[in-house]
Amino acid sequence: MEKDLLQAGKIVNTHALRGEMRIYPYCDSAEFLCDVKKLYIDGAPMEVVSARAHKGQALVRLRGIDSIEAAEKLVGKLVYLKKDEIPLEDGQFFIQDILGLTVEDIDTGEVYGKVTDVITTGANDVFEVTGSRVLLVPKIDEVVLEIDLENSVIKIRPLRGLFD
């Protein structure tokens, strides 16, 4: 799969008779997935004809998929988005871009390890950092001071007791 493609969801079922499909979103929300104009399946671009959120999933029709039989052939497939087709606001990142970044203390320069996972919680994301041990770093302004994608580093200032 191309490096600039991001997993966005999975086609879990068909919906109605005209080729509409239910996509379980792997991104922020079904609504986010409904705003895209193009999805990629097996590396091929597919134009989104219509999309709407329904019960936490995206109901999507793709150009050329206009029957339940055609849609059934895609059930179980992963859908992807192209990174450069998704506008991000300042300070927003793709999880894929965070994975592998080195995490270091902004004051001491101590390297804690690399981000191996991003855990999404209700309040804030948490970076799983693996070095000599596994640390959990909350992505809050008081702790994560700088995310520098160009230099592949995240600078943090741990709160007292965070790693005890």
Instruction: Report residue 23 CA to chain centroid gap.
Output: 15
Bridge partner residues of 23 (DSSP): 11, 58
What is the residue-wise DSSP string for 15-80? ETTTTEEEEEESSS-HHHHHT-SEEEETTEEEEEEEEEEETTEEEEEETT--SHHHHHTTTT-EEE
Domains, the chain, in order of start with CATH, read 5-85 (2.40.30.60), 95-156 (2.30.30.240)
One-letter amino acid at 114 equals K
Lowest mean pLDDT across 31-35, 42-46, 130-134: 31-35
Task: For residue range 57-81, list pLDDT tens digits in order.
Answer: 999 999 999 999 999 999 999 999 9
Mean pLDDT, the chain, rounded, equals 91
Going by pLDDT thresholds of 50, 70 and 90, the confidence category of residue 20 is very high
Nearest to 53 by CA among 23, 9, 17: 23
- State yes or no: pLDDT of 28 exceeds 80: no
Bridge partner residues of 137 (DSSP): 127
Position with higher pLDDT, 107 vs 87: 107
Task: For residue range 92-128, list pLDDT tens digits in order.
Answer: 788 888 999 999 999 999 999 999 999 888 788 899 9
Going by pLDDT thresholds of 50, 70 and 90, the confidence category of residue 2 is low
Q: Spell out the residues 6+ positions from residue 55 whose beta carbon is closer than 8 angstroms to its own.
A: none
Model pTM? Answer: 0.71
